[in-house]
Amino acid sequence: MSRPRATLVLADGTSFEGYAAGFIPDGGVTTGEFVFNTALSGYQEVITDPSYAGQIITFTYPHIGNYGVSPLDDEAARPWCRGLVVRELSPLRSNWRSTEELEAFLIRHRVPVITGVDTRRLTRHLRVHGALPGAFGSGDPAAVSEAARHATGTDGQDYVTQVTTPSAYTRGEGDLHIVAYDYGIKETMVAQLAQRFRVTVVPSWMSAEQVLDLTPDGVFLSNGPGDPAALGAQVREIGRLVATVPIFGICLGHQLLATALGASTYKLPFGHHGSNHPVQDVTSGRIEITAQNHNYAVEPDSLSRAVVSHVNLNDGVIEGISAVQDRCFSVQYHPEAGPGPHDARYLFERFENLLRTGQLEKM
C-alpha cells in the first residue's frame, strides 16, 4: 500500500519520519500529548478508552491491527484519543471475532495515524523526557514543526466535560442500587458493576443532592481523562457525598476521591500505560498484576484522612487508598481490566461487601 510521507515532531524539536495512515485531517496535521502504552494486545480497548482524550498513543508493540476489531471490544461509542503512532499497521485481519480491519475503523472514527515510526526510539525519548506535546502529519514539515511548538499537554485541562454522558442511563437488575459518575467510564467497568448492582450512570456535572435524590446504596467514581486539579467542581460534589454514602473510585475517580479527602495530586513523568504493572496490597502482602492508564497520581505526603492500601512495585506510586471511617476506598489501576489481567476484579466484590455490611475491610 502506497502511503504519503509524514513527519512527527515533539515540542522539544525531536523529529521522526513515517507514513500517514488512518484518517487524514484537514491540513494534514494532528496535535496532542504523546504517551506510550506497553500492552501486547487489546489495542481496540486502548484506543476506545476515553481516558486518552487529548493524547496521542504510541504503541510499543510493533504490529498493530493483526486481529482487526469487533464491536464487542469497544470501551466507548467512539475513540477520544487525538491519534496513534505505530511501527507497523497491519493491512490484514485474522481472527474469527473480527468484523472490520483496524484502519477502516480508524478512518470511520476520524483517528489519524502515523506508521513506520521507530517507536522504540520514541518510547525511549519519552521515558527520559516525559510525556511531551507535539504534532504529526503529512503536511509541510515546517507546518508540523510549527504546530508542535504550539501544542499543549494535559496540565490544567478538563477533558471530562467532553467525554461524559449527556444524560443518565441504567444498567443491571441487582437488589442494590449504585450511582456511577461518568468521568469517561469504560464499558467493561459498567459491565462489571451491572453484574452485581442496578447501576445508574450519571453525567460528571450532577450535584451531590441530585445523586442522593436517586437513593443509592453506594456511589462509584469512574476513570477519565485530563488533570484532576482542573476538576474542582467535581471534587466539591464528591466531598459532599463522603461519609454520607459508601464510595468506590477507580483511576481519575481515585484521584478525585483522594482530593476530596484533602490530598493533592501531581503529574508523573510519563505515566503508567500498560497491562503488566505489579501492585502490592500493603496489608496482606498480596501482589497482583494490573492494567493501568494514568498520567497523574496522589501525592504521598498529602494524605491525612485516608491510608495507603496499595503501592506500585515499579516506582512506589500510591495505587490505592482506604478511609474506613468514611466508608470509601479507591485504586489508581483498572481492576475491570479491559484489556489486561483479572487479578484485581475482587475489588468489585469488596465494594458489594461494603454496601451489604456497611463496613469497609481494614487495609
Over residues 92-144, the pLDDT tens digits come to 999 999 999 999 999 999 999 999 999 999 999 999 999 999 999 998 999 99
Average pLDDT over residues 275-290: 95
Average pLDDT over residues 165-192: 97
Helix, strand, coil percentages (3-state) for the chain, rounded to 5, are 30, 30, 40
Give the pLDDT band of residue 362 (cuts 50, 70, 90). low
Over residues 252-267, the pLDDT tens digits come to 999 999 999 999 999 9
Helices (H), 180-334: 187-194, 208-213, 232-241, 252-260
Report the topology of domain 160-357. Rossmann fold (3.40.50)
**Residue 91: pLDDT above 80?**
yes
Helix (H, G, I), strand (E, B) or coil at 203: strand
Report the topology of domain 5-150. Glucose Oxidase; domain 1 (3.50.30)
At residue 257, φ and ψ (nearest 5 deg) are -65, -45
Give the pLDDT band of residue 2 (cuts 50, 70, 90). confident
Side chain identity at residue 62, one-letter code: P
Select which of 45, 251, 273, 319 is catalytic: 251
Select which of 33, 288, 319, 336 is catalytic: 336
Over residues 17-50, the pLDDT tens digits come to 999 999 999 889 999 999 999 999 999 999 999 9
Cα 30 → chain centroid: 20
Side chain identity at residue 190, one-letter code: V
pLDDT for 83 equals 98
Select which of 33, 45, 334, 352 is catalytic: 334
pLDDT for 116 equals 97
328 flagged as catalytic: no
Residues above pLDDT 90, as percent of the chain: 96
Average pLDDT over residues 223-242: 98
Residue 247: exposed, middle, or buried by beta-carbon count in 10 A (0-12, 13-18, 19+)?
buried
* Distance in angstroms between the alpha carbons of the first and the last residue of the chain: 55
pLDDT for 85 equals 98
pLDDT for 351 equals 97
Over residues 138-161, the pLDDT tens digits come to 989 999 999 999 999 999 999 999
Average pLDDT over residues 222-240: 98
Secondary structure letter of residue 295 according to DSSP: E
**Residue 361: pLDDT above 80?**
no
Give the pLDDT band of residue 360 (cuts 50, 70, 90). confident
Cα 38 → chain centroid: 14
Give the pLDDT band of residue 1 (cuts 50, 70, 90). low
336 flagged as catalytic: yes
Q: For all residues of the chain together, what is the average pLDDT?
A: 96
**Residue 233: pLDDT above 60?**
yes
pLDDT for 45 equals 98
Q: How many residues does the chain have?
A: 363
334 flagged as catalytic: yes
Retrieve residue 178's grid coordinates.
Answer: 449504585
List the domain boundaries for the chain. 5-150, 160-357
Helix (H, G, I), strand (E, B) or coil at 36: strand
**Residue 359: pLDDT above 90?**
no
Lowest mean pLDDT among 181-185, 287-291, 327-331, 356-360: 356-360
**Residue 190: pLDDT above 90?**
yes
**Residue 363: pLDDT above 60?**
no
